[in-house]
């Protein structure tokens, strides 16, 4: 069992640590963001090169390296999105009362560039690992992309817990496309299919015919997919998951409730005006 525990713990750590680092970079002062974006660009290229090299190495070390490089490619994309550098053609909130196809169109417009960038990144990952014996990096990216699409659809269709505190202030308009509902018809389908796929991949990892490379690689993939399922359950069960990355969110400047500030300012203005009227 120790041979399966190590990759599972590795996947858990990489998922937790990389998420925190992304949040830390996104929370930097706006003047420092160009440096963060430049670093993300360099990391993206380096990770693609690492995927190309590791694709020819079907070993335990190769599986770990490919998995980590795919996570780095994904993390670089997330930095571009959360900093607001790569979002979409629409930067306004969803209009009040908007529904149906119109709401879906506005939601797609709000994240269009990011979705296109993810598809192009997936094509790049597949291209540099094409015909390689080690495809763990490619499948890692596919799992991340698939589960993220499912998560976005569930947030759009409606879930009880939105966890929108992870969105920075400059992406606040995206929250208007989230819906808070008891659940939606897609959620149980996604969770069921993803859980079944996790079980199947884990069975492949534990198969007697699996080589050490396959056992490690499949364990990494199964753990990542299980974490994707867990993230979906976070949309149903209200848990303080932000505390897991409090060290990453600490750099973020506290958000200001503009409505509350405006109300206080109006109240002060009314008091001053009333006082002036009472003066002789």
Between 276 and 238, the higher pLDDT residue: 238
The mean pLDDT value of the chain amounts to: 88
Helix (H, G, I), strand (E, B) or coil at 120: helix
CB atoms within 10 A of CB 15: 18
User: Is 203 a residue whose pLDDT tops 90?
Assistant: yes
Contact 155, 179 (CB under 8 A): yes
What pLDDT is recorded for position 271? Answer: 54
Q: What is the pTM of this model?
A: 0.87
Could you tell me how far CA 167 lies from the centroid of its own chain?
10
Residue 259 clears pLDDT 50, i.e. is over it:
no
Q: Is the pLDDT of residue 31 over 90?
A: no
Is pLDDT above 70 for 246?
yes
- Whether residue 2 is predicted with pLDDT greater than 80 in this model: the reply is no
In this structure, what DSSP letter does residue 51 have?
H
Query: Over 70: is that where the pLDDT of 276 sits?
Result: no
CA angle 243, 251, 84 (to 5 degrees): 100
Q: Please check the confidence at residue 256 and state whether its pLDDT lies above 80.
A: no
Query: What pLDDT was estimated at residue 258?
Result: 43
For residues 147 and 26, what is the distance between their CA atoms, to the nearest angstrom? 22
Specify the length of the chain in residues. Answer: 280
Mean pLDDT of 184-212: 95
Residue 275 has pLDDT above 60, yes or no: no
3-class SS letters over 133-157: CCCHHHHHHHHHHHHHHHHHHHHHH
Rg of the chain's alpha carbons, rounded to an integer?
Answer: 22
What's the rounded Cα separation, in Å, for the pair 237 and 98?
28
Alpha helices by DSSP H, 167-211 = 186-205
What would the mean pLDDT of 82-109 be, rounded to a whole number?
A: 92
For 119, the token pair is: 């598809």
> What pLDDT does residue 264 have?
43
pLDDT in tens, 156-169: 999 999 988 888 88
1: pLDDT confidence band, cut at 50, 70 and 90?
Answer: low
State pLDDT tens for residues 113-136.
Answer: 999 999 999 999 999 999 999 999
Comparing 104-113, 148-157, 225-234, 246-255, the range with the smallest average pLDDT is 246-255
Helix, strand, coil percentages (3-state) for the chain, rounded to 5, are: 75, 0, 25
């Amino acid at each position: 069992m120790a041979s399966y525990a190590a990759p599972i713990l590795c996947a858990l750590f990489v998922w937790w640590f990389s998420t925190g680092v992304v949040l830390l970079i996104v929370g930097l002062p706006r003047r420092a963001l160009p440096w963060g974006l430049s670093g993300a660009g360099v990391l993206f290229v380096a990770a693609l090169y690492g995927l190309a090299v590791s694709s020819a190495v079907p070993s335990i070390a190769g599986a770990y390296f490919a998995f980590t490089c795919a996570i780095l490619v994904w993390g670089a994309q997330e930095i571009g999105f959360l900093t607001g550098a790569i979002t979409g053609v629409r930067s306004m909130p969803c209009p009040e009362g908007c529904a149906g196809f119109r709401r879906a169109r506005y939601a797609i417009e709000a994240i269009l560039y990011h979705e296109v960038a993810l598809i192009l990144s997936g094509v790049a990952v597949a291209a540099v690992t094409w015909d390689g014996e080690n495809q763990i990096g490619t499948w890692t990216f596919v799992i991340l992309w698939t589960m993220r699409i499912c998560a976005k659809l569930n947030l759009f269709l409606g879930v009880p817990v939105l966890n929108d505190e992870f969105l920075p202030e400059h992406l606040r308009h995206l929250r208007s496309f989230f819906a808070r509902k008891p659940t939606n018809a897609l959620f149980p389908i996604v969770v069921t299919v993803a859980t079944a796929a996790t079980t199947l991949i884990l069975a492949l990892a534990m198969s007697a015919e699996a080589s050490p490379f396959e056992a490690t690689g499949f364990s990494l993939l199964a753990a990542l997919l299980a974490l994707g399922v867990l993230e979906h359950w976070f949309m149903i069960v209200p848990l303080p998951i932000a505390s897991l990355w409090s060290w990453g969110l600490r750099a973020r400047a506290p958000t200001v409730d503009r409505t509350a500030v405006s109300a206080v300012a109006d109240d002060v203005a009314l008091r001053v005006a009333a006082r002036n009227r009472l003066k002789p």
